[in-house]
Amino acid sequence: MRGKILKSCAAFAIGLMMAGATADLAAAQAAKGPSGLPLPRFVTLKSKRVNLRVGPSGDYAVSWLYLKQGLPVEIIQEYDNWRRVRDADGTEGWVNQSLLSGQRSAIAAPWMKGKGKAVFVNMRRDAQPSSTVIAKLQPGVMMNIRECTGDWCLATADGTEGWVAQSEIWGAYPGEAFK
């Protein structure tokens, strides 16, 4: 009898471990789309003219037309060759993946637009809050990003290269690091 109880307890424990492993696997997979890439993630528009559609097919109506190549968008869902994206203003829709690029760009504090002429995002010589300010970017200015440390991003705007605080841009997640 004692042996049967031990075997039952062991089987129960193994079942719990397997259920936990399955839950961990499911959680890890939930962070990736069918492409195997993370969701959400930032990309840019590859073309000067990109249709934003109401559904994931060329048969769906166009709800918006983007006219700015390199504009950052956030992929929030994937379906076949279509990506559901969100822009800095919160507008969402579907774009064919062929019109998206893995290049990174960002927008300076779009949430601060219209808050006054004295509101800027400082671009600094080095990735430190005490470093020399080399440019003052108005909210809404687009920049190309070369790398991010998790706190700072090396960016180029209008030919000027410097570091901007990652918390002051839309186009890189807080704590995200890449080169």
Q: What would the pLDDT profile of 85-112 be if each residue is shown by its tens digit?
A: 999 999 999 999 999 999 999 999 999 9
Kindly report each contact of residues 34-42 with a partner whose C-beta sits within 8 Å and lies 24 or more positions away, as own/partner: 34/78, 34/79, 35/78, 39/75, 39/76, 39/77, 39/78, 40/74, 40/75, 40/76, 40/86, 41/74, 41/75, 42/72, 42/73, 42/74, 42/75, 42/104, 42/171, 42/172, 42/173
CATH of 106-178, one of 2.30.30.40, 3.40.50.10260, 2.120.10.30, 2.60.40.10: 2.30.30.40
CATH of 41-102, one of 2.30.30.40, 3.20.20.70, 2.60.120.560, 2.60.40.420: 2.30.30.40
pLDDT given at position 23? 39
pLDDT greater at residue 30 or residue 109: 109
